[in-house]
Structure 1
Amino acid sequence: MANVAISELDKNCGKVVAEIVKLERKIFPKHESLASFFENELKKKNSGLLYLHVDGELAGYVMYSWPSSLYASITKLAVKEQWRRQGHGEVLLKAAIEKCRTRKVSCIMLHVDPLRTPALNLYKKHGFQVDCLVESYYSSDRNAYRMYLDFDSS
C-alpha cells in the first residue's frame, strides 16, 4: 500500500515549490499557469496551498484563498497524470474544503472547464453547484463553469 501524506506549504518549502511549479507548467497551458508568479501568490496572507506526496513523490496540490470574509476560492487543483483516478484529487479537495471552512466563510467558489468531466464530477460529488457559464474564461474558445459550495445549506 502506498504511503500518502498531505502537507501544508510553509515558508521553508523551496524544493516543494520548485516541484509544484514544474508540475504546474506540465499540466496547464502557459496562459492558464501560475508558474511564473507562483511564489508571489503564496506570499499573500490570505492564501494557502496543500500538497500530496505518494511514496515520497509529489502527486498533486490544491491552492486556495479567502479574498474576503464572505467566500473562499479554490484557484488550482492538480494531480500528476500517473496518480489520477486513485482518489488523490478527492483527498486534496476535501482538505481544502476543511481549510476554507476554518475561515468561517459562507461559500467556496471555483472555475472549471465544462469539458473536464472528471473534475466537474468530483466537484459535484462534494456539493458544488454550477452557478453560471463564464464565456471565454480560459481563452477565446474555452469557457468555464463558475461553481460554488454553500456552507449555509450543506
Structure 2
Amino acid sequence: MAREVIVELHRNSSQCEKVVGEIVKIERKLFPKHESLARSFDEELKKKNSGLLYMHHGGGGGGEVIGYVMYSWPTSLCASITKLAVKEDYRRQGHGEALLKAAIEKCRTRKVHRVSLHVDPMRTAAVSLYKKLGFQVDDLVQGYYSPERDAYRMYLDFDSD
C-alpha cells in the first residue's frame, strides 16, 4: 500500500469538488439508489460533527479516489461509522481496514466511549473486518435497509482500553 494515501476531506480545499465527484461515482456504482448518498452528499458533508476520510492511489496530492469512510460524532459519548466503501478493483488489499482504522482513531481522539455502525449480515467480508477490529454484534435490526434486508448493529467500546 505504499502508493495509497489517506486524506481528510476539507470543504475549503482545492481538491474538494474533484474528490466529492469521484466519491459520488463510487456511491452510485456500489450502493442501491435508496442507500446511496450520491444525491445528498453535499448536505452530509455540511453536517456538524461529521468527517470524511478518503484514500487515493497515485503520487502527489491527487490520484484516483479508491475508497472512503464517513463518520460522525453526534454526542460526546458515541460516534458512528456511516459509510465505508472501496472500489471493487481495490478490495481485499487492506484498504478498507486502513480506512476504518483511521476513522476509529479520529473518533478515539474525540474521547467518545463507543463507535457504532450498521452492516448487512450478508456482507460477510465487511462483518469479518469489523469483528477483526473489535466490533461486536449488538442486535439484528429487522428491515433496516428495506423490508427484506436487515442489518447488524455493531459497536466498539473504548472505555475498556
Normalised TM-score (structure 1): 0.97
Cα distance, 1:45 vs structure 2: 2.1
Separation of aligned partners in 2, 1:122 and 1:85:
10
How far is 1:152 from its partner?
1.2
CA RMSD of aligned residues (A): 1.0
Q: How many residues matched?
A: 154
**2:34 alignment partner, SS class:** helix
Structure 2, gaps ≥5 residues long = none
Deviations 1:38-97 (A, max 9, x none): 111101120000000122211100000001111000000000000000000000000000
The answer to whether 1:5 aligns with 2:5 is yes
Give the fraction of aligned pairs with identical amino acids, expressed as a percent. 73
- Aligned residue for 2:42, secondary structure, equals helix
CA distance in 1, matches of 2:136, 2:159: 13
* Partner residue in 1 for 2:24: 21
Which residue of structure 2 lines up, in the alignment, with residue 41 of structure 1?
A: 44
- Determine the C-alpha separation between the residues in 2 that align with 1:24 and 1:113: 16
* Letter of the structure 2 residue corresponding to residue 60 of structure 1: G
Kindly indicate whether residue 43 of structure 2 is the aligned counterpart of residue 50 of structure 1: no
CA distance in structure 1 between the aligned counterparts of 2:125 and 2:57, rounded to whole angstroms: 21
Query: Do structure 1's residue 118 and structure 2's residue 125 form an aligned pair?
Result: yes
User: What is the Cα deviation at residue 2 of structure 1?
Assistant: 5.0
Q: How far, CA to CA, are the matches of 2:21 and 2:42 in structure 1?
A: 9
Aligned AA for 1:37? Answer: S
